[in-house]
């Protein structure tokens, strides 16, 4: 009986030691390397989370910039189209003001022609037409910078005159406009039509 008791006591002691060993293992603290590894893993996870958030934000900014670029391109294209249309309109209607200025004299011509049908007074008709011509020249000079090239006995200028006839003269010291065959015109100083003239040329 005593021997059996001893065997049971021995078993109990072995079991108690095993339990104590397990408790010691459960209560054992992780070593420093393990702690550092865990910290590194946590830091990596945090960095990955931060980078993912930054990536999402950058993608959002890129999409916003793409949308803005598309809108700017559309605005630029529309602006170009407006400029082109404005340019076409400017060319198309460039002479509108000139035409409006000439409408009055045209009305005068119509009235003069109508009056001429019922009148034999040639002098009166001539005076009326002369007045209309003067009005046209005044409008063009005042509003459009028109200058008439019609002066004779001036030095021949190839920039303003076109020599249609030429005569040699012993009295001429230089090429001189003797006669204006057709008036020339300048607009704001630029020749738009040269005057056709007869030129006196000095003898060689």
DSSP alpha helix (H) spans, 93-121: 96-117
In this prediction, residue 43 carries a pLDDT of: 75
- The pTM (predicted TM-score) of the whole model is 0.58
Q: What is the separation, in whole angstroms, between the first and last Cα of the chain?
A: 170
Reported residue count of the chain is 204
Quick one: tokens of 5? 């008791």
State pLDDT tens for residues 155-166.
999 999 999 999
State pLDDT tens for residues 118-147.
888 888 888 989 999 999 999 999 999 999
C-alpha–C-alpha distance, residues 28 and 105, integer Å: 117
Handedness of CA 32, 37, 38, 39 (dihedral sign): positive
Distance of CA 95 to the CA centre of its chain: 24
Alpha-carbon distances, residue 120 vs 14, 115, 116, 117, 126 (angstroms): 156, 10, 7, 8, 11
Instruction: Report whether pLDDT(98) > 60.
Output: yes
Alpha-carbon distances, residue 108 vs 7, 68, 125, 135 (angstroms): 148, 60, 12, 10
């Amino acid at each position: 009986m005593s021997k059996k008791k001893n065997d049971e006591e021995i078993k109990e002691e072995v079991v108690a030691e095993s339990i104590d060993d397990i408790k010691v293992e459960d209560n054992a603290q992780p070593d420093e390397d393990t702690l550092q590894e865990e910290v590194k893993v946590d830091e990596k996870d945090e960095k990955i989370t931060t980078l993912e958030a930054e990536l999402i934000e950058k993608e959002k900014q890129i999409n916003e910039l793409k949308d803005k670029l598309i809108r700017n391109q559309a605005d630029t294209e529309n602006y170009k189209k407006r400029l082109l249309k404005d340019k076409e309109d400017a060319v198309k209607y460039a002479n509108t003001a000139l035409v409006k200025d000439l409408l009055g004299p045209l009305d005068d011509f119509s009235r003069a022609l109508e009056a001429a049908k019922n009148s034999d007074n040639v002098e009166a008709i001539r005076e009326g037409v002369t007045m209309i011509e003067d009005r046209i020249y005044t409008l063009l000079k005042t509003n459009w910078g028109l200058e008439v090239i019609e002066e004779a006995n001036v030095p021949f200028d190839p920039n303003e005159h076109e020599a249609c006839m030429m005569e040699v003269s012993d009295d001429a010291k230089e090429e001189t406009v003797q006669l204006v065959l057709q008036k020339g015109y300048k607009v704001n100083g630029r020749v738009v039509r040269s005057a056709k003239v007869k030129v006196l040329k000095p003898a060689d």
